[in-house]
Chains A and B, each alone.
Chain A
Amino acid sequence: MLDLLMLAADNPVDHVVNHAPEWGKTAGGLWWWSAHVGTLILAGLLTVITMLFAASKIRTGPESQGAARYTTRNPFAHMIEVILLYLRETTARPLLHGRTDTFMPFLWTVFFFILFNNLLGLVPIMDTFHLVDKIIGQDVLTGLAGSTATQNLFVTAALSIIAAIVINIAGVRELGVGGYLKHLTAGTPVYLWPLMIPIEVMGTLIKPVALALRLFANMTAGHILVAVLFSFAVKGVGMLAGDGGLLGAPISVVSIIAAVAIYFLEIFVAFLQAFVFMFLTTVFISQLAHHDEHEHHDEHGHEHAHA
């Protein structure tokens, strides 16, 4: 136990970052398997299994059930349904209007895939594997799965690339190629195009970058905070056991209470960041598609203002 406590005195970031097992690396140093890969696959499986279960309970029942055929037959599926409806009716429809049903499958998938990844990051899978490895004296499980995949910038970048592709394809479909290119001029006179087009292109690229960085930063910061607080608690216990005296007790107690509080906050953040990613993707889709319309409204607004 003391060994574990002493080991905990290392950098708390080590508990948060991705790990690769020895067998998961090539000779060239490429990580072909790491904890985040395992977590991504696990999150994907959980997302599919959970949503299949929810769909089986939400689906309209046989006519023999009468009016009861329209009710959801499981509390958990009911919770999923409430989330789905909230995302569709309150978040997406006010922005996408008639195109809501087209994009909802993608947006729902984005939300639940990120949510399951975020939540899996709160389950100490990697640390448990490491503990088992310690007990059995081998190094086979550490790095198999665990940690939060959405705090890996490459993972959030991949999700943002997918979002960017959908956003821009939606823009081209809505505006047409000509309209999409015209959107890059922001409706400015021709002599301003050399300035505006680069700015608009940068804006198009920055949006997914912002999506990736926001998710990565929020998930990383919270998990590092939890790890730091837990490391304080363990250090306090180490002080009690060593020559630090009784000062270790209050440090441990306060740190554990704070860590538990932050842990619960992280559960909320897991939902919030999944929602933010999905919501911003929706906003970007709607902005690109309705750019000219907004300008048109703005022009009218200016005319009214001048009048």
Chain B
Amino acid sequence: MKKFAFALASLSLSSAALAAPESGEKAGVLPTMLQGLVPMIVSLVVFGLVFAVLAVKVWPVIVKALNERESKIRSEIESAEMARQQAKAALDQYERALAEARAEAQRELEKAKSLQAAQLAELKAKNDVAIAMERDKAMREIDASKKLAIQEIYAQGAALSTAVAGRILQRELNPADYQRLVDEAVAGLGASKN
């Protein structure tokens, strides 16, 4: 808006002043030597002075600032790049360590599993052997007890038969006697067992 106002102001000034400056003397589009010599010399002098002032007071300051800014930006970029590379290296190292830890954990897990399975198998085998031994032992004891009992039954039966036969041989037995003999023999068997 300000630029537009400035343009309008310039335009109005130009329009208002369109009266050609006929006062004084005017040069042509190509001035004569008398008209152009002083502007030429002034150009050389003014340009020389401007260059001298700028070369001493302005350009060194600006060049120094631009170079410092450039080196600052370059160093910041290099630092950022270095930091990025360091971060990337740290991340890679972390990821490698993590992968190694995972692999190690997996190996340990597998090892524990295999160890557990081996221990279980060993324990089971031991248990099986122990159970088998216990069973065999029990079976042997049962067999021994059974045999012993049968032998005792046989012995008691033989004794009873012997006693019964002796009594038969000593007298004529009626049914009542016979019953009493059996009872005595049984009682005698029980007493002898106790």
Contacts and interface: CB of A to CB of B under 8 A. Distances in A.
Interface of A: 3-5, 7-8, 10-22, 24-25, 28-34, 36-37, 40-41, 43-44, 47-48, 51-52, 54-56, 58-60, 70, 81, 84-85, 88, 101, 104-106, 108-109, 113, 122-124, 126-131, 133-134, 139, 142-143, 149, 152-155, 157-159, 161-162, 220, 224, 226, 230-231, 233-234, 256, 259-260, 263-264
11 contacts: A12-B20, A30-B37, A34-B38, A52-B58, A59-B61, A81-B66, A126-B21, A130-B19, A142-B23, A155-B39, A264-B7
Output the residue of B10, B24, B37 with the most chain A CB within 10 A.
Answer: B24
A220 B29 contact: yes
Contacts of A32: 38
A154 B47 CA distance: 14
Given A44-B46, A104-B63, A256-B15, 18 more contacts: A7-B20, A19-B24, A19-B27, A29-B34, A31-B25, A31-B34, A48-B58, A55-B65, A59-B65, A60-B65, A88-B66, A105-B51, A131-B17, A142-B21, A153-B30, A158-B44, A224-B29, A264-B7
B40 A157 contact: yes
Contacts of B50: 44, 47-48, 109, 113
Interface in B153-173: none
B12 to A, nearest CB: 9
A55 B62 contact: yes
Interface of B: 7, 10-11, 13-31, 34-44, 46-47, 49-51, 53-55, 57-59, 61-66, 68-69, 72
Contact of A37 (B14, B29, B38, B54): B38
Given A25-B25, A47-B50, A155 B61 contact: no
Contact of A263 (B11, B28, B72): B11
Nearest to B44: A158
A17 B46 contact: no
Contacts of A128: 13, 17
B25 A105 contact: no
Contact of A7 (B22, B44, B64, B66): B22
Contacts of A20: 24-27, 35
B19 A149 contact: no
A31 B36 CA distance: 8
Nearest to B21: A130
A122 B7 CA distance: 10
A130 B23 contact: yes
Contacts of B55: 105, 109
A159 B58 contact: no
B69 to A, nearest CB: 5
Contacts of A43: 46
Contacts of B40: 154-155, 157-158
A127 B13 contact: yes
A254 B72 CA distance: 54
A105 B60 CA distance: 9
Contacts of B19: 3-5, 7-8, 127, 130-131, 134
